[in-house]
Amino acid sequence: MPSPTTRRHESWRARVHEVIYEADTPAGKAFDVVLICLIVLSVITVMLDSVQPISDVHGELLRGIEWGFTVLFTVEYLLRLLSVGQALRYATSFFGIVDLVAILPTYLSVFIPGGQTLLAVRVLRLLRVFRVLKLGHHVKEAGVLIRALRAARYKFTVFLATVLTLVVILGSLIYLVEGAANGFTSIPRSVYWAIVTVTTVGYGDIAPQTNIGQFFAAITMMIGYAIIAVPTGIVTVELSRAVRHEVSTQACPRCSREGHDTDATHCRFCGARL
């Protein structure tokens, strides 16, 4: 039988897990709102610090605010590790790595002194923008979108293979029509033109000069507009299916994984009781 100390410890972990990982409780919602505000403010701080006139005047203040955010996010990261049953699994998950990368650069900048390394420190500081990805913890619709994209991956593969074949054919044809005299010096460069044209980007660095080539370019543009609807339709269908398959916001207390059915009593990933 568990001792009173063990029971209190487990109760503390369960309470912290409920607040941090659950989004359907008042405490969990309040925690999410506060954390989202802190993330947005920290990203704004990073952006302001990158503006040289502002940094010259308020650099020390911005760095102090940044350290405050870093301490808060460090505490949050440690609480996430302590409140989940399999801390290593969370630490090596996508969001676990993002949470770690979001706080490491500020600490690393302390151990990289010297004027000649300031550029390296600036590169490390840019990684703090990864904090904005922490918002994915709190956006329920992100899971729906991920499931839809995962379900559509084979359709997208076929679509991209078809587009790749199409641009190779179009590039080869425009190379034969225009030739090196009009800037189409090779088939790869012509395929580049076909990709830019089909995707409706149109940089304009190379363009057909002959009447036949321009007519061919017009056909290629129309093809580009026509195929835009294909990936849109694929995503729309898969999104509607994903929305119908409703899942709860509950996170497993052992492995912290989400995406369980609303009536599930055990985690479908590790088997722990929800």
Residue range 135-188, pLDDT digits in tens: 777 666 666 777 777 878 888 888 889 899 999 999 999 999 998 989 999 999
pLDDT tens-digit series, residues 1-14:
555 555 565 678 88
What's the pLDDT at 208? 93
For residue 230, the tally of other CB atoms under 10 A from its CB is 15
What's the pLDDT at 244? 60
pLDDT top residue among 29 and 129: 29
| Distances 121 to 28, 97, 132, 242, 264 between C-alpha atoms, Å | 35, 20, 20, 42, 47
pLDDT top residue among 143 and 42: 42
Examine the pLDDT at 218 and tell me if it is beyond 90.
yes
Q: Record the tokens describing residue 174, joined without a space.
A: 């425009």
**Rounded CA separation 91/123 (Å):** 23
Q: Residue 254: which residues within 8 A CB-CB, separation 6 or more? A: 84, 85, 86, 267, 270, 272
**Rounded CA separation 178/195 (Å):** 16
pLDDT top residue among 50 and 127: 50
Examine the pLDDT at 258 and tell me if it is beyond 60.
yes
Examine the pLDDT at 37 and tell me if it is beyond 60.
yes
**Rounded CA separation 59/65 (Å):** 10
Q: Residues, the chain, total?
A: 274
**Measuring CA to CA, which residue among 140, 14, 181 is closest to residue 84?**
14
Q: Record the tokens describing residue 102, joined without a space.
A: 């979001």
Confidence of residue 246 (pLDDT cuts 50, 70, 90): low
| Distances 123 to 78, 108, 128, 171, 176 between C-alpha atoms, Å | 25, 11, 10, 39, 46
How many whole angstroms from its chain centre is CA 182? Answer: 41
What's the pLDDT at 115? 41
Q: Record the tokens describing residue 248, joined without a space.
A: 């709860």
**Rounded CA separation 58/48 (Å):** 9
Lowest mean pLDDT among 45-59, 116-130, 186-200, 235-249: 116-130
Mean pLDDT of 82-102: 85
Q: Are 260 and 250 in contact (CB under 8 A)?
A: yes
pLDDT tens-digit series, residues 224-239:
888 887 887 877 777 7
Q: Residue 121: which residues within 8 A CB-CB, separation 6 or more? A: 108, 109, 112
Helix, strand, coil tally for the chain in percent (to 5): 75, 0, 25
pLDDT tens-digit series, residues 101-117:
888 888 887 777 644 44
pLDDT top residue among 244 and 162: 162
**Rounded CA separation 216/225 (Å):** 15
For residue 242, the tally of other CB atoms under 10 A from its CB is 21
